Amino acid sequence: MSRAALVTEAIDMNAIVDEVRGRNGERFGAIATFIGTVRNSDGARAVVGLEYSAYDSMATKEMNDILHEALAIAAGAEIVAVHRTGNLAVGDVCVMIAAAHVHRASAFDACRYVIEEIKKRVPIWKHERFKDGGAEWVNAHSLARATPDHS
């Protein structure tokens, strides 16, 4: 069963691959995954950790909408998408998408679509803590500018 969710615990990569493979991993042949991890720098500034927060109900709904769109692109795919929230350390996995399909092109397309759309649309925010003691909302620089009308 395809599913999308916010999670607060660490993301178990093997478990998610096994989940999309199905009980015996025998139906699909091709699994594409994307794993996002917390980087140790943002531009020139050293990052020590960050906190992801979300508008939970809407984020879950958007992620599920995205999943359904991906399943329309790659009919018959099995897709799992999870995004972690809360405090994360450098190196932690923050997001993982796994898409299984009979054909590898469809597995890649579905996986790629889901991560691109998550980045565009899902109401999740990232607050980075820097080694220099500072902290900042990522993208907060656009706060003082006109926000483009996404609607």
Partner 1 sequence: MDITVHVFASYADAIGSDRATVSVPDGATVGDLRTAIAALSKSLPPRPLIAVNDKYATDDVPVGPKDEVALIPPVAGG
How far is residue 50 from each of residues 21, 38, 97, 118, measured CA to CA in Å?
32, 8, 21, 18
Neighbours of 67 (CB within 10 A): 24
Q: Which of 1, 44, 75, 146 binds partner 1 (CB under 8 A)?
A: 146
Q: Are 116 and 109 in contact (CB under 8 A)?
A: no
Residues that bind a second copy (CB under 8 A): 13-14, 17, 21, 24-40, 90-92, 102, 104, 107-108, 111-112, 115
Residues 107, 102: Cα–Cα separation, whole Å: 8
Q: Which does 53 bind (CB under 5 to 8 A by kind): a second copy, partner 1, none?
A: partner 1
Residues 12, 143: Cα–Cα separation, whole Å: 35
Q: Which does 103 bind (CB under 5 to 8 A by kind): a second copy, partner 1, none?
A: none
Q: Which does 3 bind (CB under 5 to 8 A by kind): partner 1, a second copy, none?
A: none
Is residue 52 at the binding interface for partner 1, with CB under 8 A as the rule? yes
Residues 149, 57: Cα–Cα separation, whole Å: 22
Nearer of residues 74 and 118 to partner 1, judged by Cβ: 118
In this structure, what are the phi and psi dihedrals at residue 9, rounded to the nearest 5 degrees?
-90, 170
Is residue 16 at the binding interface for partner 1, with CB under 8 A as the rule? no
The residues of the shown chain that bind partner 1, judged by CB under 8 A, are 36, 52-55, 57-59, 61-62, 83, 94-95, 115, 118-127, 137-140, 142-147, 149-151
